[in-house]
Amino acid sequence: MTDPVPLHTPARQPGDPDAALRPRKLAEFVGQEGAKGNLAVFIAAARARGEAMDHTLFFGPPGLGKTTLAQIIAGELGVGFRATSGPVIAKAGDLAALLTNLEPHDVLFIDEIHRLSPVVEEVLYPAMEDRALDLIIGEGPSARSVRIDLPPFTLIGATTRQGLLTTPLRDRFGIPVRLNFYSHEELERVVTRAAGLLGLAIAPDGAHEIARRSRGTPRVAGRLLRRVRDFADVAGAASVTRAVADDALTRLEIDRLGLDSMDRRYLTMIATTSKGGPVGNETLAAGLAEPRDTVEEVVEPFLIQLGLIARTARGRVLNDDGWAHLELARPVDSSAPQQSGLFDEDG
């Protein structure tokens, strides 16, 4: 047996700023209204029947609240919450240790579930469907199969790469939930709520300025709010106004769309090295000195949502809005397919 698989029940920690801002109830969770409404029904139904809620899969870009929603579900159900991550479950025995230590109706949360090994996945299938583990004990001629019954439990998986999930695993989740980027209005509510929890005075225009530069992502909004608070405290500002927020975020190199230096390097590479594209993602990742997964999961989704770039069969291309944001003229022979922006806004 390997070292114990990391397994924990999250709690508020004095040094964990994200935990302090994280909602604890479904009613406190801002955004994702459709998903939230459906989850409220599933939670209420499971509680009324005295059953474990069906297995649930959260998928979508990082930072949208997958872990938070999993914790909220456990809290609303009044059951235990255990969390781990796909890459650290190395062997079937590791998964067996996790599952056999669950109490009835507990929630087991596996982040990055698309990174489970095929061997571990095979053990997970009967656990999800039949609430049983089929394990091989021993080796060679003396090996024998043993079935271990499990208590009813809810598996909640989270992934930023739904396409990397195998079909058998994906089909075993009875409740698939896609999480989408947040609107500016939703992020303003996130920022205002977080400022209240931090005891920070913030003007409506200050909350708006932070929200529109937060990449449609609550996690980013919380991080930027804490950094703006640092600048405001040092400057002796009585409250975070638009001017205070703009000054802080400009110094942090976060532009009016929420793009940072890596985003601008990405756009500039397409514009200057390939005249607007198409250019392959391997080339872009090498030029940025970043792993391809980071480029695909962190950089590109928001740029696509903004309509600055488009993915084509031949590679990435820069749209008209991308050229305009870089304040560069499109070459005469460049013709990228266009895509409308989700967060188009003047100013």
pLDDT-flagged residues of the chain (< 70): 1-20, 138, 140, 142, 332-347
Same domain, 22 and 161: yes
- Asked if residue 9 belongs to a domain, the reply is no
Contact between 307 and 342 under an 8 Å Cβ cutoff? The reply is yes
Side-chain half-sphere exposure of 165, counting CA atoms within 13 A? 22
Instruction: Read off the pLDDT of residues 149-180 as tens digits, 9 standing for 90 and up.
Output: 899 999 999 999 888 899 999 999 999 999 99
Instruction: Read off the pLDDT of residues 196-253 as tens digits, 9 standing for 90 and up.
Output: 999 999 999 999 999 999 999 999 999 999 999 999 999 989 899 999 999 999 999 9
Nearest to 86 by CA among 169, 187, 202: 169
pLDDT at position 344, please? 47
Sign of the four-CA dihedral 149, 154, 158, 164: positive
Catalytic residue at 229?
A: no
Whole-number Å distance between alpha carbons of 32 and 15: 28
Contact between 175 and 56 under an 8 Å Cβ cutoff? The reply is yes
Q: Which amino acid is at 102?
A: L
Catalytic residue among 160, 192, 217, 241: 160
Domain containing 161 equals: 17-178
Same domain, 74 and 93: yes
Q: Residue 144 phi/psi, 5° resolution?
A: -145, 155
Catalytic residue at 193?
A: no
Residue 25 CA from chain centroid, whole number = 19
Whole-number Å distance between alpha carbons of 84 and 108: 8
Contact between 124 and 116 under an 8 Å Cβ cutoff? The reply is yes
pLDDT at position 180, please? 92
CB atoms near residue 136 (< 10 Å): 11
- Asked if residue 11 belongs to a domain, the reply is no
Same domain, 212 and 291: no
Sign of the four-CA dihedral 20, 21, 25, 27: positive
- Asked if residue 337 belongs to a domain, the reply is no
CATH number reported for the structural domain that contains residue 300 in this entry: 1.10.10.10
Q: How many domains does the chain have?
A: 3
Whole-number Å distance between alpha carbons of 248 and 116: 41
Catalytic residue at 272?
A: no
Same domain, 147 and 67: yes
pLDDT at position 17, please? 55
Catalytic residue among 66, 82, 172, 212: 66
CATH number reported for the structural domain that contains residue 147 in this entry: 3.40.50.300
Catalytic residue among 219, 241, 263, 316: 219
Catalytic residue among 94, 106, 111, 263: 111
Same domain, 192 and 93: no
3-state SS class at 48: helix
Catalytic residue among 56, 67, 84, 192: 67
Answer whether the bond into residue 278 is a cis peptide, omega within 30°: yes
CA-to-CA separations, 160 to 150, 156, 255, in angstroms, rounded:
29, 14, 25
Those residues with Cβ within 8 angstroms of residue 339's Cβ, 6 or more apart along the chain or in another chain: 304, 307, 310, 319
Same domain, 198 and 59: no
Same domain, 239 and 165: no
- Asked if residue 244 belongs to a domain, the reply is yes
Catalytic residue at 68?
A: no
Catalytic residue at 111?
A: yes
3-state SS class at 24: coil
Whole-number Å distance between alpha carbons of 264 and 305: 15
pLDDT at position 346, please? 43
- Of the residues 178, 209, 240, the one at which a domain ends: 178
